[in-house]
Amino acid sequence: MSEPSEPAETKAAEVERGIGLALAAAAAVIVVTCASRGGLEPMSTAPRASAAVSKAAVVRAVPGAPSAQPVALGSAELMPSSVGAVNEAAQLVFSHFYADLAGLDQRTRTVPVRIVWLGDSHTAADYLTGGVRARLQARFGVGGPGFVRIGVEPYRHAQVRVGCDGTWRVEPPQPSRRAPFDDAIFGLGGMRSSPGGAPAQAGFELSPGTAYGRLHWQVWYSLRKGERFRVSLGGVTQVVDETTAQGDIAGAGFASLALDSALLDRLELVALAGSPHFYGLIVEGSEPGVVLDTVGIDGARLATALAWGASSFEAALAARAPSLVVFAFGTNEAFDTDKVDKYRAQYRELLARVHVAAPTADCLFAGLPDANAVGGGSEPRVVEIDALQRSLAGELGCGFISQLDIMGGSGGYSRWANQSPRLARGDRLHLSIKGYELIADVISDRLLAAYDAQPKNAAH
């Protein structure tokens, strides 16, 4: 199938994609070795940053409020008289998510509380999301790593050691594209991978303390006639081909192979014939806790997610049954030339797909961090997009967290890049590991403060 033409890219956006790949490569080199037989590499153990240096404003939209304006939540600047309004806003917006967390807190819930976090390169490296995952798991229980990519390099997940050998092909060839590709079946993660030929293989092993009980694995895949692969786990090996009984995910366009194992068991996939498609891996523990799916693509925009097949995405998201869906886009749009208000309709469309798949899930706009313009100073569109997201949170009943505010507003990127230790990389766009971890700590602090401030009505 011929590839539809792409909208023209700005030079700055092209630069961002290159930088995003470099950032992911720098992160992934710790855990991924696809071109060698070296096996698994040690995980990164970068120190966590303290959130004490930030007094960020985090807001929740109050549905139905006359002004449709967000209400400040958890800010260090709040006066005691504001606490009642904050509690009300938090209860209105995150009634489902917080009730599910209360179920974990009160030990009445027997299944994980899942968060699906969609975004761009700030999400993809799993420093920001990994930090939020760790904080919430420390409070409510460790549910497992969640969604993990297969055969994608460079790639990093904070809780999984990933190794691969041989040649793997990723589709779409440009995963951040904004036009449909082929059959548009990409599931939850927006891309699929195929072995370039036998004996391409991939291995996965959890880091200690990232799940408890038994491990529940799901391999998301599809096969055409004559294609097959081998999966090994816990000393048991099986060959999967088109005659093997498959657990199809209705409407997704692919199947799910369910497997169980002990905590320390390593899962291995080996291509035997043809080029099976792999759409990702799910791994969770049998003991309930928080699971955060990191779904980030370097260079992605809202339009990237809208180019995926709606039915496949919705079916995959429904299978995850999230309590909260997070949207963390905006940086790449900040360097485009489209009118900012164009993104309003795109947010509505993407949220509509989420509501089809997970009608009770709450939603959160995670904002975008500051970025520098080519000529210096903050990119003006960052402020515009931050304001748009803030407005949409009120309109759509979603939560909103301003990463721009966490960085101190306009000019924050330069300040962070010039601090010691540096909190931004100096490439105009990305933060340092410490910077992402600081953002994660502030977001976690605000989510936990809002949870603690509201009455608990646990879901069972």
The per-residue pLDDT for range 111-141, each reduced to its tens digit, is 999 999 999 999 999 999 999 999 999 999 9
455 or 290, which is more confident: 290
Position 58 scores a pLDDT of 36
pLDDT over threshold 80, residue 243:
yes
For the chain, the structural domain boundaries read: 11-453
For 150, 170, 182, 362, the CA distances from 191, given in Å and listed in that order, are 10, 7, 11, 25
Q: 323, 259, 284, 283: which is closest to 143 by C-alpha?
A: 284
Using CA atoms, how far apart are residues 291 and 293, in angstroms rounded to an integer?
Answer: 7
CATH code of the domain made up of 11-453? 3.40.50.1110
β-bridge partners, 51: none
pLDDT over threshold 50, residue 102:
yes
**Burial (0-12, 13-18, 19+ Cβ within 10 Å), 250:** exposed
What is the rounded average pLDDT of the residues 417-422? 93
In whole numbers, what is the pLDDT of the chain averaged over residues?
A: 82
Task: Indicate the range of 96-100, 174-178, 245-249, 297-301 predicted with least confidence.
Answer: 245-249
Q: 71, 270, 326: which is closest to 151 by C-alpha?
A: 270
Percent of the chain surpassing pLDDT 90: 71
Question: What is the number of other CB atoms lying within 10 angstroms of the CB of residue 36?
Answer: 9
Position 457 scores a pLDDT of 59
In the three-class reduction of DSSP (H, G, I as helix; E, B as strand; rest coil), residue 215 is classed as: strand
Percent of the chain surpassing pLDDT 70: 78
Q: 455, 395, 453, 459: which is closest to 74 by C-alpha?
A: 453
pLDDT digits (tens, 9 = 90+) for 363-396: 999 999 999 988 878 999 999 999 999 999 989 9
Using CA atoms, how far apart are residues 318 and 250, in angstroms rounded to an integer?
Answer: 10
Residue 304 has which token pair?
Answer: 């990237």
Position 456 scores a pLDDT of 65
Q: Residue 199, preceding bond cis, omega within 30 degrees? A: yes
β-bridge partners, 296: 119
Position 93 scores a pLDDT of 64
pLDDT digits (tens, 9 = 90+) for 59-87: 333 222 223 333 333 333 322 222 222 22
β-bridge partners, 194: 169
If you write DSSP's letter for every residue of 177-206 in order, what string do you get?
A: -SS--TT---TTTT-EEEESSTT-EEEEEE
Question: CA dihedral in degrees (14, 17, 21, 23; nearest 10)?
Answer: 110
Q: Are 63 and 451 in contact (CB under 8 A)?
A: no
Position 245 scores a pLDDT of 64
Q: Which pLDDT band holds residue 244 (cuts at 50, 70, 90)? A: confident
pTM: 0.83
pLDDT over threshold 70, residue 458:
no
Q: Are 257 and 218 in contact (CB under 8 A)?
A: yes
β-bridge partners, 278: 193, 221
Place of tokens 């407005």: 391
pLDDT over threshold 60, residue 30:
no
pLDDT over threshold 90, residue 38:
no
pLDDT digits (tens, 9 = 90+) for 408-418: 999 999 999 99
